[in-house]
Amino acid sequence: KRSQKSSLVVQAKKAYDDRTYGPFEEGDVGISRDRIGKDGDGSQAFFSLYYRMYNSTRVKDCSIPKTTSKLPLVVLHGGPSLPSQYLYPLVSHLSLDRPIIFYDQLGCGKSDEPKEPQFYSIAHSVADLDTVLTTLGFSKDSRVHLFGHSYGGNLAFEFAKARPQLVQSLLLSNTPANMKQAGDSYDRLAARNPVGFWKERVCSVESPSLDNAMQNSGSVWAGMDVVLDYVASPPPMVDGKALFPSTLVVTCARDFAVESSQGWNSVLQGITT
C-alpha cells in the first residue's frame, strides 16, 4: 500500500522523447479508492497514474505551470486498456505554446493495475481526471480542451457533464455513444474477414507507437460490464439549456464505430457542435 503522503505527485523529471516529439516532463499522480463489498474493510487503497506533459514550463518542485498563451489540451486514450503512448504523435501537429497532457488511466500502461474490479468504473475515472488536473497545478478555475479517442471520448464526455465549468471544448474521435452497438458492429465486421478488418478498420496505419501500445495493453478493463453497458445520456438542462462546452464529433468511413457514433446527434441535440 502507498501512504497517504504518496498521493501527491512525485517530482517531475525532464526527459526527451526518442520519437522526436520534443521535451516533456513525466511523473506519477496518486489516487485512492475505498475498499467496498464483501472483500472490503472500509480502508483505502492507493495507486499511481503515470502522466506525461509536453510543452510544460513546470519546475522540478512541481509548482503551478506558468501562464501560456493557449489553454492546455488533455488527451484521453481509448481501449479502455490501451496506454496513452499511441497518441503521442499528436504532439507534432500542435502548437509549441500549448501544454499537452497525457496520462495512463488506472490499469493501463505505466500506471498501477489492481486486479479487483471494484476499483474500475467510469465514475472513478472521471474523479481520477479531476485529481490529475488538480495535482498538476491546474486550479479549479482553469479550463482545458479535452480530446478523447474511442473510450477516451466517453470519459471526456462524462467529465464534461460532471465538470462543465472546467472544459473549454470537447473533441470526440471515433467515440461510440452506445458501447453495445459498437461492439456488435465490431464483431459483425471482424467475422467477415478478421485480417482485412484489422488492417482496414483498426490499424490501417503503420505506427510503432500503436504497435507498442497494443503489446502493453491492460487486461482488467477489457470486457467489463461497466464499459460494455455504457450508453451516453444527454447533459443536464438548466432553464431549458444544457451547460455544456462546444463539441466536435469526428468519425470516418473506416471507423468500426461509425453507426454508434451517429448516436451523438440525439445525445447532443441543442448543443453547439
Please tell me what DSSP assigns to residue 63.
Answer: P
Q: What is the pLDDT of residues 113-161, one digit of tens each?
A: 998 888 999 999 999 999 999 999 887 778 999 999 989 999 999 999 9
pLDDT of residue 59: 40
**Positive/negative CA dihedral, 110, 115, 118, 122:** positive
Residues 227/100, Cβ–Cβ less than 8 Å: no
CB atoms within 10 A of CB 209: 16
| DSSP string across 162-223 | H-GGGEEEEEEES--SBHHHHHHHHHHHHHH-HHHHIIIII--S--HHHHHHHHT--SSSTT
Residues 21/1, Cβ–Cβ less than 8 Å: no
pLDDT of residue 214: 54
Please report, as a single letter, which amino acid is at residue 92: S
pLDDT of residue 67: 52
pLDDT of residue 60: 43
pLDDT of residue 149: 93
Domain ranges of the chain: 63-267
Task: Give the residue-averaged pLDDT of 7-14.
Answer: 39
Q: With 90 as the cut, is the pLDDT of residue 111 above it?
A: yes
Q: With 60 as the cut, is the pLDDT of residue 43 above it?
A: yes
Residues 149/174, Cβ–Cβ less than 8 Å: yes
pLDDT of residue 143: 92
Listed in sequence order, the residues at least 6 apart from 38 whose beta carbon sits closer than 8 Å to its beta carbon are: none
Q: With 90 as the cut, is the pLDDT of residue 163 above it?
A: yes
Judged on CB neighbours under 10 Å (0-12, 13-18, 19+), 144 is buried
**Fold observed for domain 63-267:** Rossmann fold (3.40.50)
